[in-house]
Amino acid sequence: MDKTTTGWIYGLTGVVIFSGSLPATRVAVMDFDPLFLTVARAAIAGLLGLGLLLAFREKRPTRGDITSLIIVALGCVVGFPLLTALALKHVTSAHSIVFIGLLPLATAIFGVLRGGERPRPAFWIFSLLGSALVCSYALTQGVSASPVGDLLMLAAVIVCGLGYAEGAVLSRRLGGWQVICWALVLSLPVTIALCIMTMPHSIAGIGGPAWLGLLYVSLFSMLIGFIFWYRGLAQGGIAAVGQLQFLQPFFGFALAAALLKESVSWSMLVVTLAVVACVAGARKFAH
């Protein structure tokens, strides 16, 4: 199996794991404050990441790697989780998942800016088409189900795309799981302090589903998913493998309907399937 195919397999595994993030976050913010959820998931994952780095005696990043790790931390460890958690106070997870369809375009753009990749012109046509379908759907909902929620989701997509691309470039030198672990560890002093400051006064009113949501986003969304995702981006190409994110809304819709009993309209499914159809074309012209 060639390196590119392996990269796509790793990338797809990461996308499947990430697909559960928004439904899990939606459940968690019903009982947890969004800021606490953001820093708690990062702190828990950071402590686990520190344990992995110590167990495998990984060498420390060079001084030149610190800036990139800070970008990864701001984009993926803090920015995306916080912005999505705040957005989910205003919109359903099914609605917010539609905006994840913009992530492939954002990741590809930052892959060019930060990773030096140069996809062929036809690639951008397919990627822009997929993104246009997502935006068109949002507009048909009466501009927005919630302007605040939609703006927060758009901001989350931008910072996440930057964090993905920066982490993928760094993964070529440090390794996929090492990048996310170091970014989490770098954030630990801040995340632990904020976790203590925003901790709920009582856990009596926090239900089991919220705890399960916190567990999922801490272990899978914040750590395990990135191990597969960064390795996939590094091996298969940031712009190319990044197009797999078009599949994330489809998986997310299914989870939202199955676990949260949220309604998924036919228009949502049609848009998602149309966007997914852009993956094949984008992949063909990614290099």
**What is the identity of the amino acid at 48?**
L
Instruction: Report the pLDDT value the prediction gives residue 168, as an integer from 0 to 100.
Output: 94
pLDDT tens-digit series, residues 187-201:
999 999 999 999 998
Render pLDDT for 243-277 as a digit per residue (tens, 0 to 9). Answer: 998 888 778 777 777 877 777 778 777 887 888 78
Q: What rounded mean pLDDT belongs to the chain?
A: 88
Determine the pLDDT at residue 11: 95
Half-sphere exposure of residue 196: CA atoms within 13 angstroms, side-chain side: 5
- For range 49-78, the mean pLDDT: 95
State residue 260's pLDDT score.
72
Q: What are the tens digits of pLDDT across the range 114-170?
A: 888 989 899 999 999 988 887 777 667 655 568 888 899 999 999 999 999 999 999
Q: What are phi and psi of 262, to 5 degrees?
A: -80, 145
Domain count of the chain? Answer: 1
Round to whole Å and give the CA distance between 153 and 96.
Answer: 7
- pTM to 2 decimal places: 0.87
Q: Which domain holds residue 206?
A: 3-284
Higher per-residue pLDDT: 258 or 74: 74
The string of DSSP letters for 118-145 reads ---HHHHHHHHHHHHHHHHHHHHTTS-S
